[in-house]
Structures are given as structure tokens and as C-alpha cells.
Amino acid sequence: MERLQSLEFEEERKRKTEQADAVVMRFLPKEEGFASILLEAMNYSMRSGGKRLRPLLMQETYRVFGGDSAVVEPFMAAIEMIHTHSLIHDDLPAIDNDEFRRGKKTNHAVYGEAMGVLSGDALLNYAYETALKAFDVPEHPERVVAALRILAHKTGAYGMLGGQSVDVMNEKHRQTKIDQNMLNYIYENKTSALIEASMMVGAVLAGAKEEQLAEVEQTAKSIGLAFQIQDDILDATGTTEELGKPAGSDEKNEKTTYVTLFGVEGAAREVEAYTREARRLLAQFPGEHEFLEHLLIWLASRKK
């Protein structure tokens, strides 16, 4: 198949992102009743934009492995809710104390710190309520059970939250000089685990076999590491206007990143290496995966 040209890919990416966003929006809670402010705060952060990368990766992996039903849609919304919950809590005064995210006021800056805590908690819980709606699709309930197990494991203490905890404790104890092994642990869990969950859930819902699921997990891990290291580079080289959040925060907080360990050029080489590995593994996927491959390249070269 002829390679997608850059303009064609960009148009396709925007179209698919808009589709993923529409799916996510359908599952947001109604802002009504005595808890309407909580629900409004939840939806405020969910509607604040973003790449919709995780639901997009989930949908594309589901498609590559032959999936063609609506069973993936509740999980697409759920993964974005979990991701958004983590951003709300990251921005809180107790952690990063950021007032801008995606060019808009952060949740706690608009609704207050207490509501920031509660809306983040509520989104995490509502994510699982939403994922459970996949049982409404009367086919392969065992795949939904397997997907729920992946989602719970990759987002909890042995995944995303575990990685966040190590990152936070390093900052709390002013451990600004950490080695690459610990940094990789943080990145593999804080960032990669949610990308792994996205792609693995898509694959398992489509009926991927166990050995295929292991390949998807490794592919997603490489994607996640490339994505996070590129974030390090952008924080060091981008502007607040470009990023939609404070630039230079890693240096300001004396955080160890791939840029502090290897420099900008060295970090860029690491991004290239992880992207190359992800593409090598992706080549073993069944079905047509040209768009997914171009998406990996775009992630590794993005400017925000």
C-alpha cells in the first residue's frame, strides 16, 4: 500500500481524533442534581481539549485486530476519564501546583482545591462505571472481563498510580538526582502503562491471542517511553504558548529527565530508538496498520 503523505495523514488524524472525541463526549455525566458542581467540574476538564491519544490508540488497535462493534466505545471514554483524572490531580497544589493546562485554567484554579480532589476521584470512579457499559453489547462478555482486568491493573498501584507515587516522593524528598533505572520505572508506569492499557484493551476486545497481546504490550511500552521523553525535550525547548502549560518546569523543579541525563540531542536519539522499536513490533500486527505507524512517527516529532 502506498504510504500516506503528510497532509493526508494530518487530515486523517484530525478526522479520527474528532471521531474519538465524539465517542468520549457521549459518555460524560449530566450536570444535574445536588452534585451538579462536581459533575460540572468533571466535565470541565474532560472538555478542555487534548490529543485524545489514548482512545485513538485503543480504537485503532481494536480495528487492526479485526474489531468492528461498539463494545470498544465505553472503554475509549473510560481511558480518557482515567487520564484526565490523573491530570487534575497532577495539577493540584500538593503535587505540581499548575494553574494552566492545555492553555486553560486548571480544574482547581477554577473550582478550588477541594473540588479538584473530588472531581479527580469522581472521574476515576466514573471511568469504571462507564467501562462496565461494555457489557450492554451482547457479544464476547469474556473479552470485556479481560479488558477490565487490564484496565484496573495498568492504572493502579502496579501501573500509573505507582509511577506517579515514586515521582511525587522523589520531589517531596528533594531527590533530584535519580538514575536511569528509577527514571525508566517512573516513565514506564506513570506514562507507558496507560498507553499499554489503551492498546491492550483494544486488542483483547477484538479477540487477540495471548502472544499477540504480549507484543501489543511491548509496542505500547516503547510508544509510551518515546512519548514521555519527547515531553522532556519539549519542556526544555518549547514555550508556554506552544505547550499550553508552563515551559521549563522540569528545570525549575530540578527534576531529573532524559534531557538532564543525556542532553537534548541524546534524548532525541532515545526517542528515535524507542520509535524504531515500536515500528518494528508494529510490523508484526495483523491487518492494515499504516495509519497507526504514521501516528507513532507523529508522536515522536510533535511540537506540543
- CATH number, domain containing residue 287: 1.10.600.10
Q: Give the pLDDT band (50/70/90) at residue 182.
A: very high
pLDDT at 302 over 60: yes
pLDDT at 224 over 90: yes
- Mean pLDDT, rounded, for 276-302: 90
pLDDT at 141 over 60: yes
Identify whether 70 is part of a domain: yes
- Mean pLDDT, rounded, for 200-206: 98
pLDDT at 211 over 70: yes
Q: Which of 164, 184, 175 is nearest to 254 (CA)?
A: 175
- By residue range, what is the domain housing residue 164? 6-301
Phi first, then psi, for residue 9 (nearest 5°) are -65, -45
Identify whether 296 is part of a domain: yes
pTM, to two decimals: 0.92
Give the integer Cα–Cα distance in Å for 114 and 176. Answer: 29
Identify whether 265 is part of a domain: yes
- Mean pLDDT, rounded, for 287-293: 90
Identify whether 1 is part of a domain: no
Q: Yes or no: say if 120 and 82 are a contact pair by the CB < 8 Å rule.
A: no
For helices 73-90 and 36-46, what crossing angle results, to 10°? 100
* Domains in the chain, number: 1
Query: Can you read off the three cell numbers belonging to residue 46?
Result: 474532560
Q: What percent of the chain has pLDDT over 90?
A: 76
pLDDT at 253 over 80: no
- Mean pLDDT, rounded, for 137-155: 96
Query: Can you read off the three cell numbers belonging to residue 229?
Result: 521523553
Give the integer Cα–Cα distance in Å for 215 and 211. Answer: 7
pLDDT at 241 over 90: no
pLDDT at 124 over 80: yes
